[in-house]
Structure 1
Amino acid sequence: MIRRLRIALIASARFPIREPFAGGLEAHTWALASALRRRGHRISLFAAPGSDPCLGVRELAVHAPRLSAAARADLSMTDPSAMDEHHAYLRLMLDLAHGDGSPSYDLVHNNSLHYLPVAMAPAVPAPVVTTLHTPPTPWLESAIQTDPTGSGVFTAVSAHTARSWQPLVHAGHLRRTELAALVGSARATLVTPCWDEPYGLVVAESLACGTPVAGFDRGALAEILTPDCGRLVPYPDVPALAAALDETMSLSRRACRERAESFCSLGRMTDRYESLYEELLS
């Protein structure tokens, strides 16, 4: 039998958790809080004012700050409602982290869409579970990345939503041997400069690993690539780049390596610098 827990359930601050529900998020939170209470758990629902009092509601302090005329005139000022939410969740998470005069919680369940419960979860003594209700958003993704320990626990409302939050194809900062193994295992490298690339070391590195390149024709890329080892398309023609990818993957890996050795290698660069030094000194 599961023991009875004291659970802090964090709801969205935008709409009350009561019928008629403003949307699926509110209905989900109400149903979860009701079901947990029926099973004997002690629920404190932190929610917007006007929420169903039967749920053990503790209202989020969503109060408009008193701003001076000078502050309101600041061009960088965010939307007032976003500022209200920010301070409400900040106050809540500080209370959960340092104690708010009530008994401690066994667990905190974040059912909101706000980033602060995620970003501040490591400061809370109790485990924090966050349910993901939406596709990735910049604020939530960045909040998740602020926790270097990866201590947060996440669930999602569907397998589809969970897959959308899976981390990308990012390998981090690799040593040269590790980087060479990774690039060499690829069938092609996409190089997409948005400026006139002065050289494009990633192109040379890819060719050195025997991996052909498909990219935008910007800057020096056309000096490095030949038709044997890569394909270039006009910038910023994304459909053309996608169309060139299949052909790029069929190019000879040996030709890529040979181009790197003859044009891009450290030895070739050093030879030319030595020739320049001798020319200057003779």
Structure 2
Amino acid sequence: MMRVALVAHIRHPIAPPFAGGMEAHSYHLARGLAARGHDVTLFASGDSAVPEGVRLHPVVATHYDRDFPWHRFHGTDALTAHLDAAYARAGRDILGGGYDIVHNNSLHRFMPRLAVAHGVPMVTSLHVPPFDALRRAVHGGIAPWTRFTVTSRTQLDRWWPGAPPPEASVLPNGIDLAEWPFKASGHGGAVWAGRITPTKGPHLAVRAARRAGLPLTLFGTIEHRDYFETDVRPYLGGDIRYGGHLRGADLAREIGAASVLLFTPLWDEPFGLAAIEAMATGVPVACTDRGAVREVVGECGRFAPSDDVAALAHAAREAIGLPRADCRARVEALFSQDVMLDRAEALYADARAAAPVAAPSRAFRPFELQVAPPVALSA
């Protein structure tokens, strides 16, 4: 049994119904570790709803997207200062908490630096393509007691072009298969699930469904209201509809009843959690060919260029004919929660075994991690 500090991203609460894949990943990782007997503390926003057996340590009182909406504040000094102050406090609390291992899902540059400076065994999971501030912290955060994971081989190449260091490896996301029951047949229509925002491409899904003559229901939180009103709503009506933002069991039932998932990322998708959730229920995937999508979906999907609605419509019609049992089998073999947890525990053991016997001072060093609001700490 280990005392685990799991540090989450704080853009959204870690609570169902999940805003996106990162929130779902942190929640289910915490729950799975606790079920295996580990003592888990989740560092997240105070409005999170932690699984049974997991303690919540608030990093901020409420998730930051409420007061600093990402599409307005991304890259601003105000949001940077807010996040720096929050993770500086979290750093102090981690150093004083007596944890055996830290699993860092924060996407913030302070955590890898804390691990190196203070000899803290840490696994950092990178759920996004590299951006400058985090890339510098990660590349400077290599130590015998640190491990870095990405969700796909595609992302490993993005973070470390050429040969990655031995401390970096692929840890795919995993899901609880019991929460995504297999259904042997669908109703003939399509489904789309995710955050409704331009980079997720629901506007492509509605246009492709119209072109293919397929009924389509969209599910997910409307993150970017103006985009929804201008680029998605005009295509709604008849058998193309928005079904709301559903909790797990209801969403699994709706997805499993479909005959194809339209998965339409318009960025370099690091993984594709919505795709494996659908595949677990037996639903094949028609998707834009971006990032790690082809690597994750494999033979359970058909692919189209991200700027070709006609090709996506054709992919959807073709995907409907793929064997549903093969989709479930792929997730069972590669993307189950048990596969993920086994690998995570092995990484924890490796990092702990390599930690310095005489660790660097655990006293908090403000000059390394702290920033005085409202001035952002330079990366």
TM-score (norm 2): 0.37
Structure with max Cα Rg: 1
Which fold has the larger relative contact order, with Cα–Cα distance below 8 Å and residues 6 or more apart in sequence?
A: 2
TM-score (norm 1): 0.49
